[in-house]
């Protein structure tokens, strides 16, 4: 199956597809309630679940990466698929989301300048995405999974305007095996939309 962004529509296997999405952040919901909440979203008429990925929840210390219990993103996405729904995944690395440090691990601040074209930061992001790749890559819609879109960064235009940084994030996402369309999200206020987007991304 293929998902694409056409001139006027989202396209699922070449046919117009209306994305009706609601946010459900797996790391904020008890895993025993995931299936119920996803089912209720479908019963509301939604066809897609959107979730952030909180890097600092998965990696509380350098060299650790948790994907168990309430952080089992793979199981969460499998439950989305089991309900016949699609998924939009927003791994950041910065997510905001009214979450501590916008999802950036606290240990990262001692090692690099965050959210910029800093080699140490980008190396850490690459490691983070490499940990997520075994979860996300086989669950893309092209592989029979639910993931149709992945977001690069989050509301970056409210923070900076470094296009080289945004292009580096895109390169890391693509290098990790993400092939579905990428998107940016920014507020249409002042220069934020222009500063936080790239011309080749939706």
Structure tokens at 72: 């089992």
Structure tokens at 34: 């995931």
Structure tokens at 22: 């609601």
Mean pLDDT for the chain overall: 97
Residues 6 or more apart from 142 whose CB is under 8 A from it?
1, 2, 3, 179, 180
Q: In what helix (H) or strand (E) does residue 166 lie, and over which residues does it extend?
A: helix 163-175
pLDDT digits (tens, 9 = 90+) for 86-131: 999 999 999 999 999 999 999 999 877 899 999 999 999 999 999 9
For the cut 90, the answer to whether the pLDDT of residue 156 exceeds it is yes
Tally the residues of the chain: 202
CB 39 within 8 Å of CB 47: no
Rounded CA separation 112/78 (Å): 35
The confidence band for 193, taking pLDDT boundaries of 50, 70 and 90, is: very high
């Amino acid at each position: 199956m293929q998902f694409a962004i056409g001139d006027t529509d989202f396209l699922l296997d070449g046919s117009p597809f209306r994305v009706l999405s609601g946010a459900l952040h797996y790391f904020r919901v008890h895993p025993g309630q995931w299936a119920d909440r996803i089912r209720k979203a479908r019963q509301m008429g939604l066809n897609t679940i959107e979730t952030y990925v909180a890097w600092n929840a998965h990696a509380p210390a350098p060299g650790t990466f948790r994907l168990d219990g309430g952080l089992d993103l793979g199981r969460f996405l499998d439950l989305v698929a089991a309900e016949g729904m699609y998924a939009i995944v927003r791994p950041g690395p910065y997510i905001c989301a009214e979450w501590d440090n916008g999802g950036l691990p606290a240990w990262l601040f001692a090692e690099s300048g965050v959210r910029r074209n800093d080699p140490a930061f980008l190396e850490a992001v690459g490691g983070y995405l490499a940990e997520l790749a075994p979860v996300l890559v086989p669950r893309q819609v092209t592989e029979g999974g639910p993931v149709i879109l992945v977001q690069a960064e989050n509301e970056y235009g409210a923070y900076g305007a470094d296009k080289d940084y945004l292009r580096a994030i895109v390169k890391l996402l693509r290098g990790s095996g993400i092939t579905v369309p990428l998107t940016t999200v920014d507020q249409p206020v002042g220069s934020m939309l222009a500063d936080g987007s790239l011309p080749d991304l939706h």
